[in-house]
Chains A and B, each alone.
Chain A
Amino acid sequence: MPKMNLSHFEAAMLFALLTSVVLGVVTKRTDRERLRYGLQCFGYFVAALFGLSWLMYLGHG
């Protein structure tokens, strides 16, 4: 089995995408609400990813 090498960014984006899909599917009642919530979660994940990345970058000086 080949080993996959992903960067932090790629791995975190994939995690965010797959988790957002599941959170969208299981939480809301209509398809429209599910899509909206899934996109919202993905947006929050990406915002947290960039926010924490900058925080760590600046924290290291």
Chain B
Amino acid sequence: MAETQVIAREPMSSPAKWLPVLALAWLVPGAGHFFLGRRRRGALLMGSVAIMFLLGLLMRGAMFQPQTGDLLTTIIYLGGFLADLASGLFYLLTSWMGYNQPDVAGHVHDYGTKFLAGAGLLNVLAMVDAFEIATGRKD
């Protein structure tokens, strides 16, 4: 007789436990780890995201604005906008301070745009890690 294997799944902890951590991790990259007592890892994440974002600004990268049109345009511009937004306070402050670089030709500008979006994507990884720590799925 074949044995049936029952995999016990951990119940999802309450949002009150992980939501503030997730919000903090989004707003200030690395702060979720600081909040959870992982200072060294938080500092590394904060430093990496901050340096990548700053390099993007110094290379005069463009921020994506959400646009719709054909499928590819929607994916690129909406995805790019969400990636920029994922940098949290870095993105918000930069926008509020009036940074508005038009998308121009040139490899340096191109790298700048990718660095700005990349910084947000790295912060998404940091947010997921903070979420897993807050819910006890990770040490």
A4 touches B122 (CB 8 A): no
Residue B107 at the A interface, CB < 8 A? yes
Give Cα distance in the complex from A18 to B29, angstroms.
Answer: 14
8 Å CB contact of B51 from A2, A3, A6, A18: A18
B108 touches A18 (CB 8 A): no
A6 touches B129 (CB 8 A): no
Categorize the interface residue count of chain A.
10 to 19
How many CB-defined contacts (below 8 Å) exist between A and B?
62
**What are the residues of chain B within 8 A of A46 when measuring CB–CB?**
none
A6 touches B48 (CB 8 A): no
* A22 with B59, Cβ < 8 A, contacts A5-B108, A11-B111 known: no
A2 touches B125 (CB 8 A): no
A18 touches B52 (CB 8 A): yes
* A26 with B58, Cβ < 8 A, contacts A11-B111, A15-B115, A21-B44 known: no
Residues of B within 8 A of A (CB): 41, 44-45, 47-49, 51-52, 55, 57-60, 107-108, 111, 114-115, 118, 122, 125-126, 128-129, 138-139
A-B residue pairs in contact (CB < 8 Å), sample of 26: A1-B58, A6-B59, A11-B108, A11-B115, A14-B52, A14-B55, A15-B111, A15-B114, A15-B115, A15-B118, A18-B48, A18-B51, A18-B52, A18-B118, A21-B47, A21-B48, A22-B44, A22-B45, A22-B126, A23-B125, A25-B45, A25-B126, A26-B125, A26-B126, A26-B128, A29-B138
